Structures are given as C-alpha cells and as structure tokens.
Amino acid sequence: MKSFLRGSLFFTLALSAASTAEAKIKTESIEYKDGNTVLEGYFAYDDAVKGKRPAILVVHEWLGPGPYSKKRAEQLAELGYLAFAVDMYGKDTRPKNHEEAAKVSGMFRSDRKLMRSRITVGLERAKQHPLAEASKVGVVGYCFGGTAAIELARSGADVKAVATFHAGLDSPTPADGKNIKGKIMVFHGADDAFVPAENVAAFQKELRDAKVDWQMLYFGGAVHSFTVAEAGNDPSKGMAYNAAADRRSWETMKGFFSETFK
C-alpha cells in the first residue's frame, strides 16, 4: 500500500510539473502604422490559456519602448491577459537619455491630438489579435505612458479600465472628462515633485465633474518613477525606485483588473 501511495504521489507531482511546463509566455514583435510612421509593438500571452481573453495595452515611459514595457507586458500575460506593449514614438525613435526623451515626449504632450491618434492606433491593433476579446480592453501606462492612457480615455475610446503609475495628470481639456467610459485607477507618489499639486487637484475635479468611476492611491515616501528599478534609490533626485510602492501598486492593479474583467 505504501508503495502504491508513493507511486500515486509521484504521478500527481509529475503531472503537475508537466502542466506547469506546458504553460509558456509567447511573445511577438510586430510592425504597425500610424499614417506613414512605422511603429513596433510587442504582444505577450500565455499559450496555456485557451480562447480569447481581455487585452491590456502597456504604454511606455518617456524613454520609449524597451525592456521595461516588455517586462510589464509579460507580467500581465502571466495573469492570463493578452498584453500589447505599444510604441508611441515610432520604430526608429528611441531616446538615448532623459534629455532626448524630454524632447520627444514633449512633442506629444504639446500635441494631444497626435498623442490620441498614436495610442488609438495601438488600441485598434491590439483588438485585431485573434486572442483579443475586443469588448474587454484595459490600459496600463507609466509616466508619459500614463498621460497617454488618460488621453485615450478622454477621447471616448471604449476601454473598460485604465491604470496609471506616476502619470503627469495635467488636464489640458477638462471638459473631455465627460467622454471617459471606463474606470480609472491612479497610483501616485505622495512626494512626486514632478507633478504639481494643482495638476492633481484639477485632474480630480475633472473626474468628479464627469462622474467617472475613479480611485487614486498615494504612496508615502515615493517620488516619480517609483516602479522603475533603473531610476535608482535616491529620492532627492526626484526619480527613484520604491520597492514597497511598486509591489503594492501592482497587487492593487491586479485586483482592479480582476474586478473589471471578471
């Protein structure tokens, strides 16, 4: 009997290991266009999940598409979503430092029509994927990408949930808040000096006036870029990683999307 039980246990563990091994995150870099501008996006999904699933856009920080946004896409894929890391800049535009990033991102910040056009193209491309459940789309945006995610919502796009991390939160067209159809979750560093308090207040007023379903979570001691390990660990520089804020915001985001896409 003992031999039989040991054999059964071994078989169960082996079967479990085999099932785990079968689950693999698939990734694919693809080209798409906004007019004449060639863009390079990045899909990620778990091939063990069967059938269509909610799609979540990942919008990069001001340094542009790269390992960070791809990593976030893969993490979302591990949760069972189809993740699409969009390209806001163009395939041939990859800032080498923060000075270059400020110039490139500044073009979009001063031209919200261009910003909305570029992210809308990413949205439509994600919905075309054969695994995308096109009626269930969310957006995750970091820094510059958080601003772009909010602009997508302001455009009236049919996105169910938007989660932003250390986004700009300025409200150049507050009246457009009435176009927001989905839920908004904002993760913000309580000591983020890059985002003026008046911008935060104006953003909250925009959402209140438009009667949007929104939440905002502050993290004490966190400054700008608190989810980006490459930002370093010196808050006095204005940008710094905060492991606790990164972990807590991600866990809260998981619940936010789970509630929305249940």
Instruction: Using alpha carbons only, give the angle 77, 226, 114 rounded to the nearest 5 degrees.
Output: 70
Write down the residue that tokens 């056009």 correspond to.
117
- From the list 195, 186, 253, the residue with the least C-alpha distance to 223 is 195
Do the domain assignments include residue 12?
no
Domain holding 92, by residue range, is: 24-260
pLDDT reported for residue 23: 64
CATH for 48: 3.40.50.1820
pTM of the model: 0.90
Query: Rounded distance, CA 77 to CA 116, Å?
Result: 25
Backbone φ/ψ region at 137: left (φ over 0), alpha (ψ -120 to 50), beta: beta
Question: Does residue 96 lie within any of the structural domains?
Answer: yes
Please check whether residue 16 lies inside any domain of the structure.
no
Task: Tell me if 7 is assigned to some domain.
Answer: no
Question: Is there a domain that residue 45 lies in?
Answer: yes
Contact 41, 87 (CB under 8 A): yes
Q: Would residue 15 count as lying in a domain? A: no
In a domain, 17, yes or no: no
Number of domains composing the chain: 1
pLDDT in tens, 80-135: 999 999 999 999 999 999 999 999 999 999 999 999 999 999 999 999 999 999 99
Nearest-angstrom CA–CA distance, 142 and 249: 12
Paired tokens of 215: 């939440």
161: left (phi over 0), alpha (psi -120 to 50) or beta: beta
Q: Answer whether residue 61 is part of any domain.
A: yes
CA–CA distance, 164 with 184 (Å, rounded to integer): 8
Per the structure block, which two tokens stand in for 244? 């606790």
pLDDT score for 262: 85
- Nearest by Cα to 43 from 123, 120, 126: 126
pLDDT tens for each residue of 133-186: 999 999 999 999 999 999 999 999 999 999 999 999 999 999 999 999 999 999
